[in-house]
Amino acid sequence: MVLPGLDGSAVPSDAFVEVARSRFESVVAISYPPDRILDYGELEAFVRDLLPNEPYILLGQSFSGPIALAIAASRPPGLIGLVLSTTFSRSPLPWLSPLASLARLAPVRMLPRALLSWWLLGRWATPRLQSALQRSLRSVEPAVLRSRAANALRVDASSRLGAISMPVLYLRASGDRLLSAAAGARIVASIPRAEGEEISGPHLLLQAAPEACAEAVSRFASRLAIEENGASEGVGLDRSDQGTSDNDRS
């Protein structure tokens, strides 16, 4: 089960999902409502309603990391492993946290394409990735994007880390210009069974390096299968798409 980034859409992760389908029995890419302002607690409840009953791995990327951490800390039935990609347990830009309330004024639809590309894609930017980024952001109501940005600047899920007992894989991006290396290191150091793996790519790692990310998750799942003494086909990200966005697709 793959949780989305700030845009809340499953579409930007399509390339990763497509590759992952060749390695897993099923894959689910969740979309958040594009026209409803929901805080982290409400989005967590939204995701919980979609959790499967069979064994699965939860993958939280970027904005959704705190949601994935909160769910893993509660140890729901079926969840056997957690993957985190370029994400954080507390504000990714702590120096901006006091200004979180000003996010409501952010011109989210007017941010220069070149700036977004430099920040989120770096030297891995391609016309396809740049266009996909623009489309995903435009598919969400500006007020929703502003609310999510403000929530990310305020969030602190650090207290949940010590309660996570399952194996965790943290995917670090070598060229992440949004998150410092400390964000991932803090998570790995605070979860007993966590490990980190660096992959060449930008903050939007699943989008820019889908093959490498899928391979890393596949190796992680194989180790889980060995630990559980079960067959690898019993571990899934669940293929059928769920959520409320019309952009979801199998």
Q: What is the pLDDT of residues 213-224, one digit of tens each?
A: 999 999 999 999
Mean pLDDT lowest among 11-15, 29-33, 118-122, 127-131: 11-15
Say which CATH number the domain at 104 has.
Answer: 3.40.50.1820
Domain membership flag for residue 197: yes
pTM over 0.85: yes
pLDDT of residue 104: 62
Q: 232 pLDDT exceeds 50?
A: no
Percent of the chain at pLDDT > 70 equals 83
* Total structural domains within the chain: 1
Domain membership flag for residue 248: no
Domain membership flag for residue 146: yes
Q: Give me the chain's average pLDDT, please.
A: 87
Domain membership flag for residue 173: yes
Domain membership flag for residue 249: no
Domain membership flag for residue 106: yes
pLDDT of residue 116: 87
Q: In the predicted model, what is the mean pLDDT of residues 72-96?
A: 90
Domain membership flag for residue 250: no
Token pair belonging to 209? 């390096």
State the residue range of the domain holding 15: 2-243
Confidence label for 231 from pLDDT (cuts 50, 70 and 90): very low
Confidence label for 226 from pLDDT (cuts 50, 70 and 90): confident
Rounded CA gap, 245 and 132, in Å?
16
- 140-159 pLDDT, tens digit per residue, is 999 999 999 989 989 999 99
- 182-212 pLDDT, tens digit per residue, is 999 999 999 999 999 999 999 999 999 999 9
